[in-house]
């Protein structure tokens, strides 16, 4: 029996004592932190609200897969260990990979433990109140990402009761939906991939197109992720990026797919094949009449502009490096909107389900510490907050593009553990000074 299976059968370490470090969250970020804490021989505990792999196992649709190649999965000490490095792991494979990593790290983990409050006492010691007791700690790592609460606009309240509504986090497959046409609102990665999933299943799909960019899949003989890795694009930090921190951390991810070996997603091609596209949803009037912004053509053009910019950057790199790579045909749009749809009466449309692919909000209401800005978002530099001993890990663009992903969360964890070790050593140095 593996160590991972043994952990699932026992309660794990006792929470109710003082710990040098408490890690909150047992996903890839929390496990990476535990790996480096063990390398530094720092006593700690990892608290996980659900179980390892929960978000991947229970919060993704059935055909979900990675959009970046497997070789980019490089958790500390444990890179991708499968037989298809250039492929894209499906949901169950991702869960299995993370479980193998948990088995490899063998962290001091307590699963099924909810942290209800994090605060500090008069001695500046952290107090971690949980569903299984209260711990104290010198330092705390918040490895809980930022996708806590599904975001659905208030206009959803005006949708007729005859139409089912769900957030993308609750979508699993076309069969779970009522018969009839489906409206997907949002064209980030989830919205585009869910729309494709439904379209491939033969469902009539309506798609509200936002401003998310798109990216090429394979270009000039290699996956675009491979080219961008070689170009150093993923190593650019927030501090050195031409875009602002706020823009980077709130920017929609480029949409493409890893399904069936990986392919591009071109919304124009969907339209050519019968999917109905609209501009951004502006409002829903009383009675269930949807109104759309007149920006469908602009949003498609903007996505294509990013797509072409990435291709151009790869072309320039190939030329600069003198690389022998196959030529590529110039990009030409396969479809143009014949008009800008202005409105749609839901009752008369045939639509029986709306899927809100409109993202998530963070919920740090249980954290009582002055580490949030006016929007309630974490304030930090590479995960180090203004409160000594409190850190964030696993957030998008914590330091680089890969910070919230398998690609670079391990490097971020190593940096934070270095800060933790230095702070832990500081009192000892002061005592001997």
Residue ending a domain, among 338, 356, 374, is: 356
Which is more confidently placed, 217 or 4? Answer: 217
Say if residue 132 is in the same domain as residue 211: no
Identify the band that residue 432 occupies on the pLDDT scale cut at 50, 70 and 90.
low
Q: How many CB atoms lie within 10 A of CB 218?
A: 16
Render pLDDT for 60-81 as a digit per residue (tens, 0 to 9). 999 999 999 999 999 999 999 9
Q: How many CB atoms lie within 10 A of CB 159?
A: 18
Query: Which pLDDT value is given to residue 3?
Result: 47
Say if residue 169 is in the same domain as residue 316: yes
Task: Give the residue among 26, 24, 7, 11 at the shortest CA–CA distance from 98.
Answer: 26
Say if residue 177 is in the same domain as residue 106: no
User: What is the 3-class SS of the chain, one letter each residue?
Assistant: CCHHHHHHHCCCCCCCCEEEEEEECCCHHHHHHHHHHHHCCCCEEEEECCCCCHHHHHCCCCCCECCCCHHHCEECCEECCCCCCCCCCEHHHHHHHHHHHHHHHCCCEEECCCEEEEEECCCCCEEEEECCEEEEEEEEEECCCCCCEECCCHHHHHCCCCCEEEEHHHCCCHHHCCCCEEEEECCCHHHHHHHHHHHHCCCCEEEECCCCCECCCEECCEEHHHHHHHHCHHHCCHHHCCCCHHHHHHCCCCECECHHHCECCCHHHHHHCCCEEECCEEEEECCCEEEECCCHHHHHHHHHHHHHHHHHHHHHHHHHHCCCCCCCCCCCCCCCCCCCCCEEEHHHCCEEEEEECCCEECCCCCECCCCECCCCCECCECCECCCCCEEECCCCCCCCCCCCCCCCHHHHHHHHHHHHHHHHHHHHHHHHC
Query: Which pLDDT value is given to residue 428?
Result: 60
Query: Which pLDDT value is given to residue 122?
Result: 79
Say if residue 409 is in the same domain as residue 425: yes
Say if residue 291 is in the same domain as residue 352: yes
Say if residue 282 is in the same domain as residue 420: no
Q: Is the pLDDT of residue 90 over 80?
A: yes
Which is more confidently placed, 433 or 131? Answer: 131
Render pLDDT for 224-246 as a digit per residue (tens, 0 to 9). 999 999 999 999 999 999 999 88
Q: Is the pLDDT of residue 159 over 90?
A: yes
Query: Which pLDDT value is given to residue 147?
Result: 86
Say if residue 18 is in the same domain as residue 56: yes
Q: Is the pLDDT of residue 4 over 50?
A: no
Q: Is the pLDDT of residue 292 over 50?
A: yes
What's the mean pLDDT in 6-23?
A: 75
What's the mean pLDDT in 77-102?
A: 96
Say if residue 190 is in the same domain as residue 104: no
Cα angle 224-214-210, degrees, rounded to a multiple of 5: 165
Query: Which pLDDT value is given to residue 9?
Result: 35
Residue ending a domain, among 356, 376, 392, is: 356
Q: Per the structure, how many domains does the chain have?
A: 2
Q: How many CB atoms lie within 10 A of CB 124?
A: 10
What's the mean pLDDT in 159-169?
A: 97
What's the mean pLDDT in 92-119?
A: 97
Q: Is the pLDDT of residue 274 over 50?
A: yes
Residue ending a domain, among 356, 374, 400, is: 356
Lowest mean pLDDT among 93-102, 146-155, 196-205, 293-302: 146-155
Lowest mean pLDDT among 28-32, 118-122, 247-251, 301-305: 247-251
Query: Which pLDDT value is given to residue 433?
Result: 52
Query: Which pLDDT value is given to residue 123?
Result: 81
Q: What percent of the chain has pLDDT over 70?
A: 96
Say if residue 76 is in the same domain as residue 168: no
Query: Which pLDDT value is given to residue 124?
Result: 77
Residue 253's φ and ψ, nearest 5 degrees, are: -70, 150
Say if residue 184 is in the same domain as residue 316: yes
Q: What percent of the chain has pLDDT over 90?
A: 89
Q: Whole-angstrom Cα distance, residue 239 to residue 254?
A: 21
Identify the band that residue 83 occupies on the pLDDT scale cut at 50, 70 and 90.
very high
What's the mean pLDDT in 188-193?
A: 96
Q: Is the pLDDT of residue 121 over 90?
A: no
What's the mean pLDDT in 273-291?
A: 96
> Which CATH number fits the domain that encloses residue 237?
3.50.50.60
Across 344-383, b (16+ Cβ under 10 Å) vs e yields bebeebebbbbbbbbbbebebeebebebeeeeebbebebb
What's the mean pLDDT in 204-214?
A: 97
Domain that holds residue 71: 3-148+362-432
Instruction: Please provide the average confidence, as pLDDT, over all residues in the chain.
Output: 94
Q: Whole-angstrom Cα distance, residue 433 to residue 427?
A: 10
Say if residue 224 is in the same domain as residue 164: yes
Q: Is the pLDDT of residue 280 over 60?
A: yes
Query: Which pLDDT value is given to residue 12?
Result: 67
Say if residue 54 is in the same domain as residue 126: yes
């Amino acid at each position: 029996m593996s160590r991972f299976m043994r952990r699932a059968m026992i309660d794990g370490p006792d929470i109710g004592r003082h710990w040098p470090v408490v890690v909150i969250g047992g996903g890839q970020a929390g496990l990476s932190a535990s790996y480096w804490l063990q390398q530094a021989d720092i006593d700690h505990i990892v608290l996980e609200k659900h179980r390892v792999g929960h978000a991947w196992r229970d919060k993704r649709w059935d055909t979900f897969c990675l959009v970046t190649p497997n070789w980019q999965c490089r958790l500390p000490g444990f890179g991708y260990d499968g037989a298809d490095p250039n492929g894209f792991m499906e949901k169950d494979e991702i869960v299995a990979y993370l479980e193998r990593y948990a088995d490899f790290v063998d962290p001091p983990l307590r699963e099924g433990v909810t942290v209800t409050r994090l605060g500090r006492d008069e001695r500046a010691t952290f107090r971690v109140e949980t569903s299984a007791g209260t711990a104290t700690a010198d330092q705390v790592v918040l490895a809980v990402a930022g996708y806590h609460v599904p975001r659905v606009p208030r206009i959803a309240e005006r949708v007729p009761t005859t139409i089912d509504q769900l957030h993308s986090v609750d979508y699993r497959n076309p069969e779970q939906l009522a018969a009839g046409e489906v409206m997907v609102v949002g064209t980030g990665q989830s919205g585009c991939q869910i729309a494709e999933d439904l379209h491939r299943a033969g469902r009539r799909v309506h798609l509200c197109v936002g401003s998310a960019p798109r990216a090429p899949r394979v270009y000039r003989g290699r996956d675009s992720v491979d080219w961008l890795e070689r170009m150093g694009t993923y190593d650019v930090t927030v501090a050195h990026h031409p875009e602002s921190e706020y823009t980077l951390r709130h920017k929609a991810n480029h949409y493409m797919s890893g399904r069936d070996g990986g392919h591009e997603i071109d919304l124009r091609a969907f339209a050519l094949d019968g999917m109905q596209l609209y501009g951004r949803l502006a409002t829903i009037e009383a009675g269930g009449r949807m109104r759309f912004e007149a920006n469908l053509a602009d949003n498609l053009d903007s996505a294509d502009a990013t797509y072409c910019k990435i291709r151009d950057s790869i072309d320039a790199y190939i030329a600069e490096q003198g690389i022998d790579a196959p030529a590529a045909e110039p990009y030409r749009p396969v479809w143009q909107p014949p008009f800008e749809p202005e409105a749609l009466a839901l009752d008369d449309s045939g639509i029986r389900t709306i899927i809100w692919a409109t993202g998530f909000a963070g919920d740090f209401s249980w954290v009582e510490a002055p580490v949030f800005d006016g929007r309630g978002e974490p304030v930090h530099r590479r995960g180090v907050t203004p409160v000594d001993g409190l850190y964030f890990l696993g957030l998008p663009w914590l330091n680089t593009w890969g910070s919230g992903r398998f690609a670079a969360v391990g490097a971020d964890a190593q940096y934070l553990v270095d800060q933790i070790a230095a702070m832990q050593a500081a009192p000892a140095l002061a005592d001997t000074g």
